[in-house]
Amino acid sequence: GKSEEQSMVIPQVPSNIKMRRCGYCMVKQPMRAKHCQLCRHCVRRYDHHCPWIENCVGEKNHRLFIVYLSVQLVVLLWGGHAAWSGLYFEQSWDWLRHNIFLLMSFLLIVVFTIVVLLLLVSHLYLISCNTTTWEFMSHHRISYLQHSESENPFDQGVILNLWRFFC
């Protein structure tokens, strides 16, 4: 039997949708769970396998992943500021020869900052919709989303989605 808390947190599966059984672990998977080939285990509320942290992002560590991205963004902005403030500009080849390393570092930091910023913004958008990266990318292949009457059965409005995720 399910406890009251479980029935409030985990939406009920409609009767016409069969519960999936993991082909690797041979356990019944709850909705929003997926088996990760790299980690070799099932992850509740699977979002994605992150190569940066060499781990899956799921129910237990999604908030920490957002904190990680935020800290990365702050460090990159700080590094970009430090690299930019170290540059002094003159119009000569001698200047370029002496500052090429600092200039290349700044440009690399700008590229990484854009990547991390886009990743953070996209995750915040998905959180506000109460969906995961896996559900967003594979909506057409997931049985409980294919047969759903609404586009996202987990969406409870932006404010409530953000509140439940962060609080």
**Which of the residues are catalytic?**
50
End-to-end CA distance of the chain: 27
Residue 140, SS3 per DSSP: coil
Paired tokens of 25: 């672990």
Taking CB atoms within 8 Å and a gap of at least 24, the contacts of 27-30 are none
Residue 134, SS3 per DSSP: helix
Q: Which amino acid is at 137?
A: M
Query: Quick check: 128 and 136 in contact, CB under 8 A?
Result: no
User: What is the distance between the alpha carbons of residues 56 and 54, in angstroms, rounded to a whole number?
Assistant: 7
Paired tokens of 87: 């540059």
